[in-house]
Amino acid sequence: MLQVSFLREEKERVLEGLKKRNFKQLELVDEAIQLDDERKKTQQELDSQLAEINKISKEIGILMREGKKEEAEAAKSKTAQYKESSKELTTKLSEIETSLLNILYQIPNIPYHLVKPGVSADDNEIVYQSHEVHGLGEGAIPHWELAKKYNLIDFELGVKIAGAGFPVYLGKGARLQRALVQYFLDKNTDAGYLEVNPPHVVNEASGYGTGQLPDKEGQMYHVGIDDLYLIPTAEVPVTNIYRDVILEEKDLPIKNTAFSQCYRREAGSYGAHVRGLNRLHQFEKVEIVRIEKPENSYAALEEMVAHVKSILEDLELPFRILRLCGGDQGFTSAMTYDFEVWSAAQEKWLEVSSVSNFETFQANRLKCRFKGDGRTQLAHTLNGSAMALPRIMAALLENNQVEGGIKLPKKVAEYARFEMID
């Protein structure tokens, strides 16, 4: 959530940034500023009346001690009028603050200056590609057929138990999943990330804190009776560890990693492009989260990008890195890099990670602050997938087809404790 002071002081920059995103409701910026002006005016009136009530209350005590009963009673009557008026002002102030918050929740983050304007994924910049890619040629089959052939994943059994988008991993498929999770966690902890095992459900305040609510409410599974949400990513519970927290400057940076199941409704997703592991309602992911000083956050972002890049190099998968354009960025992000792996059998790129800097956007909602330079200020938050498993699994199966089975890359085989799926 952007601060009103930022909207006011950097209005032109804000409007230009929102145009980069193709955001159409530019009038919300002026509405927020006007409501904030009204809030300040109402607060001043309320403070003035409360001060007057306090002043008259002291005078009443003096008048009573001096035996001036009639004057004291007149003062009490005046105080009652002020109290009634202040009650009305308090209600008005609360309504203004709620309206202001609702508007601020609708305004997305402002893109970093390196982010280019654009409308869709077609306008994203390719900033790195590991090597040239090509299909596997005649005889190559997609991962959903490989999974069935080698009894790795049963999609139909998942439909029976829960519904489409909830696969059941079997045998070497389950072992490969477990091996990848362990490898990702080891890679992250070796890089200085503290492992966290968070809840897989969060309350409404946590959803608002990281920006999933109200923006992605329709994409989250809601447990109505308990008013809890199944997490779409470990980013949500891990980042909320620092909600309403004032950190010490010496504690930064904070680096956390977490493995979790992720749950996404993916409403409206159907067709050939979501077949197999391409898009699921439940999947496994390992996340990295950082809390940084503002001046260090973009260096931290590049460090996170290099870290995810090293994971994909270990997996020996063809991949590319894209810097998202304004129109394709998430609501809360100031700058995002996407990682895509090449699916040789499907002959298309599959997104497997997003690494983002949110600057103060999440921290302002979370009230995640730190003490430094003699003042308390908002921290910067960052997160990234390191890694999401379904499409990594799909690419590993499809890109490593050999005569007689699937030969795993060296690092994967080391963790899985088998080299071949046959």
pLDDT tens figures, 410-422: 999 999 999 999 9
Secondary-structure breakdown of the chain: helix, strand, coil percentages, each rounded to the nearest 5: 50, 20, 30
**239 assigned binding-site residue:** no
- With left for phi above 0 and alpha for psi between -120 and 50, is residue 345 left, alpha or beta? alpha
383 closest CA partner among 300, 294, 292, 287: 287
What percent of the chain is predicted at pLDDT more than 90?
Answer: 83
| pLDDT, position 269 | 52
Helix (H, G, I), strand (E, B) or coil at 239: helix
220 closest CA partner among 239, 199, 204, 209: 204
**269 assigned binding-site residue:** no
**264 assigned binding-site residue:** yes
**4 assigned binding-site residue:** no
Average pLDDT over residues 324-334: 97
121-421: which CATH number, 3.50.50.60, 3.40.50.11540, 2.40.50.320, 3.30.930.10? 3.30.930.10
| pLDDT, position 195 | 98
105 closest CA partner among 334, 332, 335: 332
Tokens of 11: 């209005």
Query: Is it the case that residue 18 has pLDDT exceeding 70?
Result: yes
Average pLDDT over residues 82-105: 95
Query: Is it the case that residue 309 has pLDDT exceeding 80?
Result: yes
Query: Is it the case that residue 339 has pLDDT exceeding 60?
Result: yes
**347 assigned binding-site residue:** no
Which phi and psi angles does 75 have, rounded to 5°?
Answer: -65, -40
Print burial letters for 37-52: b (CB count within 10 Å at least 16), e (below 16): eebeebeeebeebeee
| pLDDT, position 273 | 59
pLDDT band at residue 272, thresholds of 50, 70 and 90?
A: low
Query: Is it the case that residue 287 has pLDDT exceeding 90?
Result: yes
129 closest CA partner among 340, 308, 391, 314: 340
Helix (H, G, I), strand (E, B) or coil at 254: strand
Helix (H, G, I), strand (E, B) or coil at 238: helix
Query: Is it the case that residue 271 has pLDDT exceeding 70?
Result: no
Domain coordinates of the chain in residue numbers? Answer: 4-104, 121-421
Print burial letters for 215-238: b (CB count within 10 Å at least 16), e (below 16): bbeeebeeeeeeebbbbbbbbbbb
**287 assigned binding-site residue:** yes
| pLDDT, position 70 | 82
Find residue 284's DSSP bridge partners: 261
Which phi and psi angles does 232 have, rounded to 5°?
Answer: -85, -15
Average pLDDT over residues 293-322: 98
Long-range contacts of 197-200 (CB under 8 A, 24+ apart): 197/258, 197/259, 198/231, 198/234, 198/237, 198/238, 198/241, 198/258, 198/260, 199/231, 199/237, 200/230, 200/231, 200/237, 200/260, 200/261, 200/263
Mean pLDDT for the chain overall: 94
Least confident stretch, 171-180, 258-267, 386-395: 258-267
Tokens of 157: 């059994």
pLDDT tens-place string over residues 137-161: 677 899 999 999 999 999 999 999 9
pLDDT band at residue 400, thresholds of 50, 70 and 90?
A: very high
Helix (H) or strand (E) holding 191: none
Query: Is it the case that residue 135 has pLDDT exceeding 80?
Result: no
pLDDT tens-place string over residues 73-86: 788 888 888 889 99
201-202, strands of its sheet edge to edge? 201-202, 228-230, 222-223
Q: Which residue has the tokens 């400057």?
A: 249
Tokens of 24: 């159409």
Query: Is it the case that residue 211 has pLDDT exceeding 90?
Result: yes
Domain 4-104 has CATH 3.40.47.10: no
pTM score > 0.85 for this model?
yes
DSSP β-ladder status, 369-372 and 246-248: parallel
Q: Are 253 and 291 in contact (CB under 8 A)?
A: yes
| pLDDT, position 192 | 98
Average pLDDT over residues 59-83: 83
167 closest CA partner among 152, 155, 179: 155
